[in-house]
Amino acid sequence: MSKSAILWNVGDKWNVEDVDLVEPRAGEVRVKVAASGLCHSDDHYVTGDQPAQLPLVGGHEGAGVVEAVGPGVTRVKPGDHVVMVFNPPCGDCHFCLTGRGNLCFYNPPKTAPLGPAFRARGQEVGAIAELGTFSEYTNVAEARVIKIDEDIPLASAALLGCAVITGWGAAVYLGGVKPGENVVVIGCGGVGVNSLQGARSAGADIIVAVDPVEFKREQALLFGATHTAASVEEAAELLATETRGRMADVAILSVGVGDGDTLQDTTRLVGPGGRTIITSVTPAASTTTNLGLFEFTMSEKILRGNVYGGVNVYRDVPLLLGLYKRGKLNLDELITTTYTLDDINQGYADMHAGKNLRGMVLHG
């Protein structure tokens, strides 16, 4: 038995209720979830922007302690502290072998598709990203857990499951920011501020944070921003002045909900050869964009999507925790407000109101 937050229908609120959970099956790990981040992506299931088979237990950014393991599990044992990840590389498909484990052909992992582990109201209930961290307990494939040191706070570690990796990797790997380059990040929530941190890690010079919310612009300065702007137009003027017309080398779009109509203005923040990374999730049904291809072609610009920041989680979760331990990566400061699972809908209301970098559910 576990208390979990379930989405039964598009447009519903998260419903917190008791569910049954099967014993860990072969290759599966039972995690007592300590903390789960309130990522915008889960809300895309609520709005229907992300189509999915419902019902689902939400949550894909969590950390906890292994409680039990199924037959054949070798990566972890009961008592281990773990971060859960949704995109583990298999290590031997075409994409993994070419250094792009985030695009692994086998996601879910080959060993994982065991079917839903949750049951509620007499029916099977799946889990978002096959993690389902909005739950006191969850069962996940062993490939999806990464053991971490016990001195790392689990709420801070949870952030590595999505926000930090997606944002930091957007600058470091997908944007390929190099020392002395200029970076602009549009949208400075829980993911965007990590792109600021990534730009700082990569040695960027000018780092512009764009957000209409004053609180987020203030916070952005703690995560590596050298300048802030309230709008894309303001950022364009600022970059034109500060770079003497060269503009940014990398733009990262990280607003809550993507919109194809903003592409032209976003890509104009970068100069010739500039790279634009689209981290924002745009509604799946939306297929139109506004982009002047003449200018785009004639200035050799690059446009790139973002799957999990281009990271290899087995390499980069330990790497990022090393940066955190030595004060080079902010994690604790990302958590603005903590909630109980019962207050999860308040957490999402606060997210929509722009009050949080990251809201975090702490399971009792």
d(CA 307, CA 329): 21
Interface with Zn ion in residues 133-162 (CB under 5 A):
162
* 198 vs 274, beta carbon nearer Zn ion: 198
State yes or no: residue 39 binds Zn ion (CB under 5 A): yes
Structural tokens at position 312: 């290899």
CA angle 27, 100, 326 (to 5 degrees): 85
In the complex with Zn ion, the residue whose CB is nearer, 94 or 119, is 94
Among 104, 155, 320, 329, binds Zn ion (CB under 5 A): 104
Reply yes or no: is the peptide bond before residue 55 cis, omega within 30 of 0. Answer: yes
Contact residue for Zn ion among 90, 112, 114, 240 (CB under 5 A): 90
Task: Provide the residue count of the chain.
Answer: 364
Tokens of 35: 């903390």
Only one of the segments 87-95, 130-138, 230-238, 284-292 lies at the binding site for Zn ion (rule: CB under 5 A); that segment is: 87-95
Asked if 307 is part of the footprint of Zn ion (rule: CB under 5 A), the reply reads no
Told to check if 170 binds Zn ion by CB under 5 A, we report: no
Least distance (Å) from Zn ion to the CB of residue 167? 10
Exposure on the CB side of residue 71, measured as CA atoms within 13 A: 2
Q: Which of 4, 41, 194, 330 binds Zn ion (CB under 5 A)?
A: 41
Least Å distance, CB 314 to Zn ion, is 11
Tokens of 205: 């010079």
Q: Specify the residue, 104 or 143, whose C-beta has the smaller distance to Zn ion.
A: 104
How many residues bind Zn ion, per CB under 5 A?
Answer: 8
Minimum CB separation of residue 197 from Zn ion in Å reads 16
Task: Compare residues 38 and 236 and give the one whose CB is closer to Zn ion.
Answer: 38
Mapped onto helix, strand or coil, the DSSP state of residue 133 is: coil
Position 96 contacts Zn ion (CB under 5 A): yes
Taking each continuous run of H as one helix and of E as one strand, the counts in the chain are 11, 18
| E strand intervals along 38-188 | 56-57, 62-69, 81-84, 118-120, 123-127, 137-141, 145-148, 183-186
Distances in whole angstroms, Cα of residue 175 to Cα of each of 239, 274, 278, 280: 18, 9, 10, 14
Q: Quote the DSSP letter at residue 48.
A: T
The answer to whether 311 contacts Zn ion (rule: CB under 5 A) is no
Instruction: Note whether 93 binds Zn ion by CB under 5 A.
Output: yes
Cβ at position 99, least distance to Zn ion in Å: 11
**Piece of the chain touching Zn ion by CB under 5 A; list 32-40, 127-135, 215-223, 274-282:** 32-40
> Which residues bind to Zn ion, rule: CB under 5 A?
39, 41, 89-90, 93, 96, 104, 162
